[in-house]
Structure 1
Amino acid sequence: MGQLIKQLWHRYQSVLSYLIFGGLTTLVNIVVFGIFNHFWPYWLANTIAWFISVLFAYITNKLWVFDSKTPTFQAVLIEMTSFFGFRLLSFFIDEGIMIIGVSVLHGNDLIVKLIDQIIVVLLNWFFSKLFIFKDREH
């Protein structure tokens, strides 16, 4: 049984690691959103939550999900720019879902945020896998 688990982990390590760290990133996003949502409008709380969670996501994705090796400072800048660029795209999708869900449909802020995060995590997986860390994964 232990050998089977090792084989499955080796085969699906990238996906499983992404789910673990994606879950933690989502948790960071929701907790920060929940804290700042008490003091500021939801769209500003969402922006702050996005920024903090993207910093967390970049570090965890680079080190533990995709095991990215960037030999030069220029390579790190290119990778980081790509990561933040695609995350900025998903941020606009995130904001759009929040605006439609809260302001237009009058949904509960936190419930809309949870639904929003499922969509955003899936989008970010595809962006990371197909565009950002594609040449660096082994």
Structure 2
Amino acid sequence: MEKMNIEKLWDKYKDIIPYGVFGVLTTLVNIVSYWIFAHPFGLSVMVSTVLAWILSVLFAYLTNRKWVFHSEASTREEIGKEIVSFFSCRLATGILDWACMFIFADLCGFNDVLIKCAANVLVIILNYVTSKLVIFRHKG
């Protein structure tokens, strides 16, 4: 009986559960790489934010494509369109992240790592919606 409930839950949330796991890992890639660029390397808040964004979006694309949304794109053209779509949508939420960092960390002087964490919550939600509805939607 319990096994059936677990299977039903998995079927119902089969995208959200792995997205949550890889979302946490992507967020860790983003925050840790930001911290490394900003603190040990001493780069500016904005440069560190952009470099962290590039690394985390690449990680997110690879994991989301395979393990979250099970992309069916197989030709170079399909994969190319998927990559452009993914990075375009991520650029939109990346701009939101950059704006938060610029306003709250650079201009207001709040703790940069805390602002980075807070901005990522909103970014994760928006990224899931765009991935599910735009990038990896299944045709059929």
TM-score range, shorter chain: over 0.9
Summarize deviations over 1:58-117 as a string: whole Å, max 9, x none: 000000000001121100000010000111111111100111111232210011000010
Any residues of structure 2 matched to 1:86-101 within 5 Å, and which? 86-101=89-104
Cα RMSD after superposing both structures = 1.2
Distance 2:44 2:109 in 1: 14
Distance 2:8 2:70 in 1: 18
Is 1:124 the counterpart of 2:117? The answer is no
Distance 1:55 1:31 in 2: 15
Summarize deviations over 1:28-51 as a string: whole Å, max 9, x none: 100101111112011111111000
Runs of 4+ in 1 over 2 A off after TM superposition: none
Tell me, what secondary structure is at the counterpart of 2:13?
helix
Tell me, what secondary structure is at the counterpart of 2:70?
coil
One-letter identity of the residue aligned with 1:127: T
What is residue 105 of structure 2 aligned with on the other side? 102
What is residue 28 of structure 1 aligned with on the other side? 29
Tell me, what secondary structure is at the counterpart of 1:13?
coil
What is residue 9 of structure 1 aligned with on the other side? 10
One-letter identity of the residue aligned with 1:79: E
Identity of aligned residues (%): 39
One-letter identity of the residue aligned with 2:89: F
Distance 1:18 1:128 in 2: 10
Contact 2:45 2:106 (C-alpha < 8 Å) held by counterparts = no
TM-score by length of 2: 0.93
Distance 1:128 1:2 in 2: 30
TM-score by length of 1: 0.95
Gaps of 5+ in 2: none
Gaps of 5+ in 1: none
What is residue 83 of structure 2 aligned with on the other side? 80
